[in-house]
Amino acid sequence: MEKRKFLVVIDPSHERHLALERTLDIIRQRAEWPLEFHLFIGFEADDRTDSEAPTEVIRSTEWFEQLLKPLQELNAEYTTEFFWTRNWRHSIQEAAERYVCDTILLCESSAEHKRLITDSKWDLVRHSRCDVVICDEGTSGPYNCVLAAVNTQAKDPVHIAMNEKIFERGKFLAEYFGAEYHVVNAYKDSEDFPDRGLIGRMSGLPRENIHRDMGRPEEVISLVAGKVEADMIVIGISSKTGLAAKLSSHTTEKVMERVDIDVVALN
């Protein structure tokens, strides 16, 4: 079975480390799946200009030992690395490629008092070559309900492939954590109505777990997430360029702004 490798981004200015908490949840499942984690510890420099951000952060050896203690108690396979950079996104992307990671885990905002995702973090989500999990404080873990957001009305090869990937990843994550699995598909009007039968065949879900609502995708997704009490949303990032990619990325960003639960962005 292929090993899953995670890059876990940790900001030492935080008292709570959401990405590390999710890492521990993943390990505790004890699934028969080889796992490896690389802890990438450093500041998001673009966020340090915030007037409310700390101007000085001092961490001792004891702090570092306490940070790693839960991983050691679980006998996790991991490595660590400290970084300081002017290009936060590039450094993380480079590390993910260097360690051949298939998933990046990071928290929603570098500054704990801020709600909105920072520009550098959003650039990472859009341009990463691997999946990015944005961990938010509304999810306490382990996951109990996974919601996959698809657009089955789109018939071009790129969207079809992305829908298949979202269905597959949503199902895998739900089975891994023993969670409920739901799918949501927004539509704009009656002429754009999604095919429930198609969604059922692609997801393997019963009718009650398939949600089709009219409205803006970000509104529909966030409303359904609240309705089913989801603590994870799986959504795709467009690989297109130009206006189409901008509109798709805008939708995904709006979803992240509306929910306070984990979002898995697939590229």
What pLDDT is recorded for position 267? 85
What pLDDT is recorded for position 120? 80
What pLDDT is recorded for position 56? 76
- Mean pLDDT in each 10-residue stretch from start to end of the chain (267 residues)? 85 90 92 88 66 73 96 94 89 95 84 59 86 92 94 91 95 95 95 93 96 95 97 82 50 86 93
Segments making up each domain of the chain, as ranges: 4-135, 145-266
What pLDDT is recorded for position 248? 52
For residues 102-124, one letter each, b for 16 or more C-beta atoms within 10 angstroms of the residue's C-beta and e for the rest, the string is ebbbbbbbbbbeeeebbebbbeb
pTM score? 0.90
* Alpha-carbon distances, residue 222 vs 20, 40, 179, 213, 218 (angstroms): 25, 30, 19, 11, 6
By the 8 A CB rule, do 163 and 150 touch?
yes
CATH number of this structure's domain 4-135, picked from the four choices 3.40.50.620, 3.40.50.970, 1.20.120.530, 3.40.50.740: 3.40.50.620
Instruction: Please give the CATH architecture assigned to the domain spanning 145-266.
Output: 3-Layer(aba) Sandwich (3.40)
For residue 64, give both structure tokens: 């570092």
For residue 171, give both structure tokens: 């199902």
* Fold match between domain 4-135 and domain 145-266: yes
Q: 105: helix, coil or strand?
A: strand
